[in-house]
Structure 1
Amino acid sequence: MGDFAKDINSKFESEQQKAMLNLMFTANWMSGIQNDFFKTFDLSPQQYNILRILRGAKAPLKVQTIKSRMIDRSPNVTRLTDKLIDKALIERLNCETDRRVVHIQITKKGLELLKEIPSGRHKLFTENLSNAEAKNLNELLDKIRP
């Protein structure tokens, strides 16, 4: 088991400060692992998130809707979707009733790629937690956000 204070060779003013910094440190560590994992599929974690959102949608979605459902609400959703369009993983659909509105939908190629990506990646991060500990962690994380 890691020891955050030793990992960064630091002392803290309070347990609350340590918790905040530990959370940020852990999130960055997890992000690095995710980035490495998705590189093997020529994706970023944010691009994967967009594909996952579109797979679960019952109909094509507006970019703003996609952005609101993202885990990492990047301001660059348009750039991310452009890259996915270049890879033929998603496509733009013009709205017939309003030319200003554009919808996005996943392609068959995008769905096929999602099938190649193994599920259960969360176990890399949670294998040392029991279900009760994971539940407690979820409750604490929810409590942090107003």
Structure 2
Amino acid sequence: MDDNLSLKAFVVLMKSSKTLQERIKQDIQSYGMKTSEFAILEALFHKGRQTVRQISEAVLINTGSITYVIDKLETKGFLEREHCTEDRRAVFIQITDKGTKLMNEIFPKHQQVIEDLFEGVSKEDLKTVIETLKKVGHRA
């Protein structure tokens, strides 16, 4: 039976991941946003001005798709582009005051949804999950 523990852990991880992703998607949609829009705004909100490449790496969206989402968010006034004076090929993306105001309003609610999902799980167990997933991720 112990021989199947890795397989069982994998299945449980994948099922719980799918369930968590669906719940987070519902939460983000309740703010009238798509997951990709929220992810980009959240990255800029917490990390400040970034290049398209940096955002793409942070939110795991390919650069082709990210340009479309950035265009939409810029049209809504949530972010703006700033061309780099040293390298004309580089473009920085930064959150606007309107985008910051939105994230100040919705991010605490979003964070609470995540906190609620892990209610009843001890800090020690959470630390164990984090460390275990890091090990698996590095091994893969």
What TM-score, normalized by structure 2, do the two folds share?
0.84
Per-residue deviation, 1:39: 0.9
Give the fraction of aligned pairs with identical amino acids, expressed as a percent: 27
Q: How does 1:1-146 map to 2 (within 5 A)?
A: 14-58=4-48, 60-70=49-59, 73-75=60-62, 76-117=65-106, 118=109, 119-146=111-138
Question: What SS is found at the alignment partner of 1:122?
Answer: helix
Aligned length: 131
Cross-structure match for 1:6:
none
Per-residue deviation, 1:95: 2.2
Question: What SS is found at the alignment partner of 1:120?
Answer: helix
Per-residue deviation, 1:87: 1.7
Q: Which runs of 5+ in 1 are unaligned?
A: 1-12
Higher relative contact order (CA 8 A, sep 6+): 2
Cross-structure match for 1:9:
none
Higher helix share: 2
What TM-score, normalized by structure 1, do the two folds share?
0.80
Task: Report the RMSD for the aligned CA atoms in angstroms.
Answer: 1.7
Q: Which runs of 5+ in 2 are unaligned?
A: none
